[in-house]
Amino acid sequence: QVHLVESGGGLVQPGGSLRLSCAASGSIFSINDMGWYRQAPGKERELVAAISSTGSTNYKDFVKGRFTISRDNAKNTVYLQMNSLKPEDTAVYYCNAEAIATMPRVLRNYWGQGTQVTVSS
């Protein structure tokens, strides 16, 4: 089993910054893509950014130039640096990982519990 734990959310003023972290733990054989999703009240969960095991990144247009995704494979951790935050960025942010556990060795999609990000003055 693979467990994802997010941290770093909170309340920030418009224009401010936050850094989210997500650490994977458990019986990990390998981790492929990792990513961040968000879900605002009354809306569907949406992809924010993703990063492959080799470091290739993908961003949705609404965060390009403001957010940066990175990962530390040695620590099984993915980060999301969020700058120039806007009120519309307010949401619960979820970490996602495509990973293979040591037993059974099947590729599965794992989710963290989510961390609240609120952008408000």
What is the mean pLDDT for each group of 10 consecutive residues in the chain (121 residues)?
95 98 96 97 97 96 96 97 98 97 92 97 95
Q: Are 121 and 85 in contact (CB under 8 A)?
A: no
CB-based contacts of 54, cutoff 8 Å, min separation 6 = none
> What is the number of alpha carbons within 13 Å of residue 121 lying toward its C-beta?
3
Length of the chain: 121
What pLDDT does 103 receive?
Answer: 87
**Dist CA 110 CA 94 (whole Å):** 10
Residue entry with tokens 């949705």: 60
| The dihedral sign for the CA sequence 67, 68, 71, 75 | negative
What pLDDT does 104 receive?
Answer: 87
